[in-house]
Amino acid sequence: MPRKIKIAILFSGNGSNMQNIIETFHQKKIAHESKEYFFEIKGCVCNQKDAFGITRAKNLGIPCLLLPHQDFADRISFDLALEKEIKKMEVDLVVLAGFMRILSKKFCDSFKIINIHPSLLPKYKGANAIIESFESGDREVGVSVHWVNEELDGGAIILQKSFLRMPEDSLEVFSQKIHALEYEIYPEAIKKAIASL
């Protein structure tokens, strides 16, 4: 019997990484390191009313809760509400897919959480990583998946992949290459993460 793995996805925007994860894993049996897992995406939570990812989740038949952080007095009260909703889902892993919030220590201690970041951490932490990486002139660039703690982009690395940037690449082309690598690396990192749970 495959081991059942339940996942919640948190996002704030377009939701392309979320869609990739749902299409790769939801209701699928996947073998990893000689073990079998059956994945279920229990639901998604979004903190932005106008996020296109809400439409993606709906089209994929995945429950999506809208929980706007603007409706809460402070970060802690938002995190407590979010924690309550995630606990209802009884998940094994929380996956951040473009979730633009720094989570409190209490929330991070309550779940196993992973995040994807568009740079080779510890370089270029924060929301402007793609632009900073592009403007850095670094020859080797890439993507990281890491465990989440209360420090911004500060948790232990699960997986990194890199590529050599082309001097002629525009920011648009560079961004496309970063996103393509995200879609490739995140499913790999999720399998690696759940093997350690």
Q: Where are the alpha helices (DSSP H) in the chain?
A: 16-25, 53-59, 75-89, 105-110, 129-136, 171-195
**Cα-Cα end-to-end distance for the chain:** 17
Marked catalytic residue, from 32, 69, 117, 179:
117
- Give catalytic status of residue 32 as yes or no: no
User: What's the CA dihedral at 79, 92, 114, 162 to 10 degrees?
Assistant: -160
Q: In a 3-state reduction of DSSP, which class is residue 135?
A: helix
Which sequence positions are flagged as catalytic? 117
